[in-house]
Structure 1
Amino acid sequence: MKSLALIFSNSRYFAPAWVFTSLNIWFGTWAIYIPTVKEKLGIDKADLGIALFCLSLGVFTIFPMASKIINKLGVGKATWIGVLCTTCAAMLPLLAPNYHLLMGSLFLFGSCTGFTDISMNTLVTEIEKEDKQNFMSAAHGFFSLGGILVGLGSFLIPIIGNPLLHMGVTVVVVLLINVAFYKKYVHIVAAPVEKEPFSLKLFKPLLLLGIIGFVSMGSEGAIIDWSGLYLKEVTLAPEVLIGSGFLAFSITMTLGRFLGDGISAKIGSVKIVGMGALIAISGYAMVLSGQTMLAIIGFAFNGLGFSVMVPELFRIGGNVRGVDSAQGVSFIAGTGYAGFLIGPVILGFMAEEFSLTHSFYLLLACAVLVLGITFFLYQNRK
């Protein structure tokens, strides 16, 4: 909890952490109004799927060029510009008067959120280097906290009764808090890195980190999308407990991220990712027991195990020798997002072809793969 106390006691650390919270508030508030937009524009599920793909396309389009923009602007200024752009873009999908403009607005929203995501993770990496303080995991905990705030804000929907007003109030409040703190980081630029010519030796650690990012974020997305159905169809959980797996996963995910920095400082980034993989493997063993309460506890273990992986990957990726921090973070973000979007789809195909239980065996195998990669990385660091 040392990093959490650090964030709340020093505005230099709270400022970037609030950007993490802001990003999830913007995205989450849009997400709760997806059914409303679908109904308003009279589109079917297939059309909605294409529109949401445009959002993902926007995210992936910005990744290849993000590091160059960040290095040119300076990481602090890039983060602030990302905040301003996302603030404006968050309103556009709810304002779209027709389907084609919805697709365009979601593409722009995805581009802005993707750019802000890379900027803020690079910013935290640079502050950690400057101050020799670990708070990346806690910053990601603030991202999870944003989802909780969105959930609480959803209770205002019947009171406000207007999606645009709800989003408008949310955008203004979030922006005002950012305005109060952005001067704490806007001047920060990335430390110069002595770049090395491209080689397989240089690329190998990034590739391995990318595989872990793909697998871990893919597993997160899969559990978020499929845990409820697993409890309903496999463990035959009563209706009141169907959402318990996701709730347990979310709580331990947030808690783990607030605790992760202190553990990482003691044992190192590679070891904590390996430890997270072991915890996730234990979680899958309980999930695959087929017993409702054990499965719910297993999903809690999954949340705890995966909670530390992504923040540590950004930390490691931003410190790869011969690669500037923005490029490292962009690569990890790109592979991670690919896993988050593709993972649930792969699981769905497996569940349809074989069974949902087989899908979770695949997730277990992925966690074992992560453990093997971390062992390899640790051996190479000696």
Structure 2
Amino acid sequence: MKSLYLILSNPRYFAPAFVFASLNIWFGTWAIYIPYVKDKLEINKADLGIALFFLALGVFTVFPIASKIIDKLGVGKTTWWGVLFCTLAALLPLASPSYELLCVSLFVFGLSNGITDIAMNTLVTELEKEDKVQFMSAAHGFFSLGGVVAGLGSFLMPVFENPMLHMGLIALIVLIINLIFKRHYVTIKSAPVEKEPFSLKLFKPLFVLGLIGFISFASEGAVVDWSALYLKEITLAPSHLFGAGFLAFSITMTLGRFLGDGISERIGSIKIVAVGAIVAILGYFGILSENSLFAILGFALTGLGFSVMVPELFRIGGKVKGVDSAQGIAFIAGIGYLGFLSGPVILGFLAEEFTLRTSFWTLLVCAFLVLLLTWTLRGKRN
């Protein structure tokens, strides 16, 4: 919890951590109104899926140019501009009067989310290097907390009875808090890096980190999309426990991220990713037991195991020798998001062709793969 205390006691670290929370507050608040938008525009599930694809397309569009924007503006200014654009872009989907404008709005929202995501992770990496501290994992814990805040905000829906008013108020409050703290990071620029020409030796660690990121994000997406159905169809859990797997996963994901920095500082980034893989493997064995309570405990363990992976991957990627920190983080984030979006789809295909249990056996094999991949990085330090 040392990193959590660091964030809460020092505005220099709270400021970027709150940007992490902000990103998920914006996105989560939009997400709870997806059914409203679907009914308002009278679109079917297929049309909604295409619209959400534009959100992902916006994220992927900005990734290749994110590092150039950060180099030009500075990581602090890019983070702040990302906050401003996200504040405005979060309002657009709910205000869209037509399906076509909804797609455009979600594309813009995706762009804003993408650049803010890369900038804030790069900002934390630069602060860690400059101040010789570690709080990347706890910052991702704030991202998880942002999702909790957005979820709790769903209880306000009957109070407002107006999605735009709800989103507008949330966006304004989040903007004001960011405005108060932006002075603590807005002038920060990335430290110059002596870049090396492209080579397979240089690309290898980034590729391995990207592959681990793909698996981590895909696993997280799988639990979000399939845990309730798994408890219903495979373990035959009672209806009041359908959401327990995701809840357990989310709680341990948040807790693990607040504890991760201290553990990483003691054993190193590579080892903590390996330990996380082992914990996730144990979790999948619990899930595959087909006992409801063991499965819920298994989802909790997978959340704890994967909680430390993504922050550590960004931390390592931002320190790869000869690679600009923003470029390293953008590469890992891009591959990771590809996993988050495609992973549940692939698992859905496996579930349709075979069984849902087969999908989770596949995730178990992938967790073992992560453990093996950490051996290829073992010569690399924090």
TM range (shorter): over 0.9
- Cα deviation for residue 380 of structure 1 reads 5.8
**Pairwise mapping of residues 71-86 of structure 1 onto structure 2 (< 5 A)?**
71-86=71-86
CA gap of 1:90–1:189, structure 2 versus 1, over 3 A, is: same
**What is the rounded CA distance, in whole Å, between the counterparts of 1:95 and 1:151 in structure 2?**
21
- Counterpart position of 1:190: 190
Confirm or deny that 1:210 pairs with 2:238: no
- AA matched with 2:141: G
- Cα deviation for residue 375 of structure 1 reads 1.7
- Cα deviation for residue 152 of structure 1 reads 1.2
Aligned residues: CA RMSD: 0.9
**What is the rounded CA distance, in whole Å, between the counterparts of 2:162 and 2:302 in structure 1?**
37
**What is the rounded CA distance, in whole Å, between the counterparts of 1:323 and 1:96 in structure 2?**
40
Q: So what's the TM-score if we normalise by structure 1?
A: 0.99
Confirm or deny that 1:373 pairs with 2:369: no
**What is the rounded CA distance, in whole Å, between the counterparts of 1:372 and 1:335 in structure 2?**
19
**What is the rounded CA distance, in whole Å, between the counterparts of 1:191 and 1:380 in structure 2?**
21
- AA matched with 2:149: L
Task: List per-residue Cα deviations over 1:59-86 (Å, max 9, x = no partner).
Answer: 0000000000011100000000000011
- Cα deviation for residue 31 of structure 1 reads 0.4
- Structure 1 segments, 4+ long, off by >6 Å, are none
**Pairwise mapping of residues 69-148 of structure 1 onto structure 2 (< 5 A)?**
69-148=69-148
- Counterpart position of 2:305: 305
- Counterpart position of 1:240: 240
Please give the secondary structure, in 1, of the residue aligned with 2:196. coil
- Cα deviation for residue 381 of structure 1 reads 5.7
Confirm or deny that 1:327 pairs with 2:327: yes
CA gap of 1:343–1:77, structure 2 versus 1, over 3 A, is: same
Q: So what's the TM-score if we normalise by structure 2?
A: 0.99
- AA matched with 2:86: T
Please give the secondary structure, in 1, of the residue aligned with 2:374. helix
- Cα deviation for residue 153 of structure 1 reads 1.1
**What is the rounded CA distance, in whole Å, between the counterparts of 1:243 and 1:380 in structure 2?**
39
**What is the rounded CA distance, in whole Å, between the counterparts of 1:191 and 1:158 in structure 2?**
48
Once the two structures are aligned, what percentage of the paired residues are identical? 70
**What is the rounded CA distance, in whole Å, between the counterparts of 1:92 and 1:220 in structure 2?**
27
- AA matched with 1:8: L
Task: List per-residue Cα deviations over 1:322-376 (Å, max 9, x = no partner).
Answer: 0010000000100110000000000000000000010000000000000000022
- Counterpart position of 1:357: 357
Task: List per-residue Cα deviations over 1:245-290 (Å, max 9, x = no partner).
Answer: 0000000000000000000000000000000000000000111011
- Counterpart position of 2:41: 41
**What is the rounded CA distance, in whole Å, between the counterparts of 1:371 and 1:379 in structure 2?**
15
Unaligned runs of 5+ in 2: none
Aligned residues: 382
- Counterpart position of 2:273: 273
**What is the rounded CA distance, in whole Å, between the counterparts of 1:110 and 1:308 in structure 2?**
25
- AA matched with 1:378: R
- Cα deviation for residue 379 of structure 1 reads 4.3
- Cα deviation for residue 151 of structure 1 reads 1.3
